[in-house]
Amino acid sequence: MRHLAPMTLPSLQVSMFRRVPLPFPIARTPASSCSPIVRRSLHSSPSVKMSQKLKPAARVAGNRQDVWSIVNEAAAASPRQPIVNMGQGFFGYNPPEFILDAAKGALDRVECNQYSPTRGRPRLRQALSDAYAPSWGRKLNPETEITITTGANEGMLSAFMAFIEPGDEVIVFEPFFDQYISNIEMPGGKIVYVPMHPPKEGGSKTLSAGEWKIDFDELERAVTPRTKMLVINTPHNPVGKVYSREELQKIADICVKNQIIILSDEVYDRLYYVPFTRIATLSPEVEKITLTVGSAGKNFYATGWRVGWLMGPASLIEYVAAAHTRICYSSVSPLQEACAIGFEQADAHSFWTSSITSMLSKITLFTSVFDELGIPYSQPEGGYFVMANFSKVKLPVDYPFPPHVASRPRDFRLAWFLIQELGVAAIPPSEFYTDANAHIVEDYLRFAVCKPDEVLEEAMGRLRGLREFIE
């Protein structure tokens, strides 16, 4: 088996694994930084234990080990170094030259190194209005219908902060993007989960990711008078589904009837391989209750730039912008400018079409190893994740899984096993389901294919080692 030199392919290295940062720093109150009154009471009351004062708030103090740290731990413990990291959805290659040049150029301009308006740089809002017009059917008003955020993630936090009061319910489909959960819980929202169901034959046949379905009766039953928002993600992470127009219409009808705000997470909106519809464009009634989310990180292969946006009616965007102002005031200026130039020039560079062609070719290349091995997978309709079904892989009965992995659903054991035995990291998707529904995906693993072809080929070579474990 080939081993790649870490020097030439740093993206293979274990150091690329990271914990997902906490959304907010853990609050600390060291006595030395307290007011004199507080300090006196801390020291004078023996009943007040310092350790309690230093305790983090419950919202950031979850004690179950998250998937990212388990995968990190497995990677560090694996004898197969360096690991091929197909787990996290960061790109293994740079944004295109014209966008990098725009970023470098922006750094030389005085005004690009200072605060931007809290709603974002006018040039970027105008560029977004122009770039979205063909798929939206009209030009959004850059002054009132678009607001720039620090990545899509902070944009969604701003949306929940803007509309959720404690006890309000938010419908989230499983599997979910994990950051939704803390973002909803932060303002006191209650999440009501509705599972997506994989196709019944998903363990024996490769089928379109579109075969993952919502049960609309389950969705109707999830709606209560307290339902304030519904989150939808299309193209979908991790499933790769692009919701059909008919499915979106059914969801929209429920939301219009019950006056539920739709948060449509469309961060993969430039990577679709079947027709893609924006839910906001179904009708003026739907547009009036929809916030659409975008991400420069996903559009331009620059997840570290932290530039995102929310678009929707002025009556909703106004409050998202107000929350964003309180959370981080404004977003990174030179990279907003670079994104503006990116949108202005993308068509001239055929960037959107080449993005699709290149990602599709990565999907085709990588999934060919599953075809070879007879491992079925969900053929992505959009995005850059592939969900493969490992029900045919038999894990050795006496395999020494650590207890905290042995106690999790089978996909965690599969992920651990792949990292230890083959040196390939993938993500167990049951992390994106509630405990009650985790069994739905316990045979699946998620692979991110947004990596250089040589990394994909290395992963494929290693995955061939699964042959001896397939029945």
Ligand X SMILES: Cc1ncc(COP(=O)(O)O)c(C=O)c1O
Our CB check for ligand X shows the closer of 189 and 308 to be: 308
Our CB check for ligand X shows the closer of 129 and 233 to be: 233
Our CB check for ligand X shows the closer of 441 and 466 to be: 441
Could you list the beta-strand ranges (E) of 68-189: 84-85, 146-149, 169-174
In this structure, is the dihedral angle defined by the CA atoms of residues 391, 397, 402 and 407, taken in order, positive or negative?
positive
Q: Which residues contact 75 (CB under 8 A, 6 or more apart)?
A: 14, 17, 83, 85, 419, 425
Supply 219's token pair: 């969705």
Instruction: Report, in Å, the least distance between residue 48 CB and ligand X.
Output: 39
Instruction: Report, in Å, the least distance between residue 400 CB and ligand X.
Output: 32
What are the start-end ranges of the H helices in 270-426?
Answer: 284-288, 296-299, 314-328, 333-345, 351-373, 403-406, 410-417
Instruction: Report, in Å, the least distance between residue 175 CB and ligand X.
Output: 10
Supply 336's token pair: 């907003």
Our CB check for ligand X shows the closer of 271 and 463 to be: 271
Catalog residues that contact ligand X under the rule CB under 6 A: 89, 151-153, 177, 233, 237, 265, 267, 295, 297, 303, 308
Find the angle CA(237)-CA(297)-CA(343) to the nearest 5 degrees: 120
Instruction: Report, in Å, the least distance between residue 388 CB and ligand X.
Output: 18
Our CB check for ligand X shows the closer of 177 and 301 to be: 177
Our CB check for ligand X shows the closer of 297 and 376 to be: 297
Given the structure tokens 């081993």, which residue do they identify? 3
Our CB check for ligand X shows the closer of 227 and 331 to be: 331
Instruction: Report, in Å, the least distance between residue 55 CB and ligand X.
Output: 29
Nearest alpha carbon to residue 375 among 212, 238, 206, 207: 206
Neighbours of 329 (CB within 10 A): 11
Instruction: Report, in Å, the least distance between residue 383 CB and ligand X.
Output: 8
Nearest alpha carbon to residue 387 among 221, 202, 136: 202
Instruction: Report, in Å, the least distance between residue 354 CB and ligand X.
Output: 21
